[in-house]
Amino acid sequence: MYALPDLPYSYNALEPFIDEQTMHVHHDGHHATYVKNLNDVLSGHNELLNIDTKELLKSLDKVPEEIRTKVKNNAGGHFHHSFFWRIIKPNGGGEPKGRLLELISKNFKDFNSFKEKFKDSALSLFGSGWTWLIVNPDGKLEILNLPNQDSPISVDKTPVFTIDLWEHAYYLKYKNKRADFIDAFWNIVNWEQAEKNLNS
């Protein structure tokens, strides 16, 4: 069985950048529903209920075809949200350090150019989805838009950090102003966690 992880901070800890009400709806509503739906769709498939979501997303071809899309959407939703809660934190922001900053500078010129490119990409994502910073098997960083709950894990990319661009992530506070949400997001990025993801 899959379980909803607690947030690693309180619901109001990301104020004023992400408001308390959004965190409740997002975690207790949306994320919880992905977990419930994943358990429901996998009931009777015990061998798939006991592996972690990352393994599930890496080997979707092993999932019976008639439930594959539901598994992809809900395992993606569960894994991506669990990942997202850890990639943000109260008093985050600033700049990445160490190997992550080196690679960002190498791939995108410098941190500010990277931020601009990431924001442009996030603004260009049509509909619901996520913008990812991923590292390829050859060590090169890349910014990637993926729709819905399609996962970088399923296409052999290692996620470093991400922003949730489903309207449920920002609409209560930012309404249709996705750009304002992205600007605010830089204040809560947990760059230490991003570097851990890079090195994992």
Applying CB under 5 A, which of residues 162, 164, 170, 191 lies at the interface with Fe ion? 164
Give the three-state DSSP class for 128. Answer: coil
Applying CB under 5 A, which of residues 17, 166, 171, 186 lies at the interface with Fe ion? 166
Alpha-carbon gap, residue 106 to 173, rounded angstroms: 35
Q: Could you tell me the smallest distance in angstroms from the CB atom of residue 128 to Fe ion?
A: 9
What number of chain residues touch Fe ion (CB under 5 A)? 3
Q: Could you tell me the smallest distance in angstroms from the CB atom of residue 63 to Fe ion?
A: 22
Instruction: Answer for the pair 35, 56: CB distance below 8 angstroms, yes or no.
Output: no
**Helices 65-87 and 32-42 meet at what angle, rounded to 10?**
150
Q: Does 150 bind Fe ion (CB under 5 A)?
A: no
Alpha-carbon gap, residue 71 to 197, rounded angstroms: 24
For Fe ion, which residue has the nearest CB?
164
Pick the closer one to Fe ion by CB: 80 or 157. 80
Query: Footprint of Fe ion on this chain (CB under 5 A)?
Result: 164, 166, 169
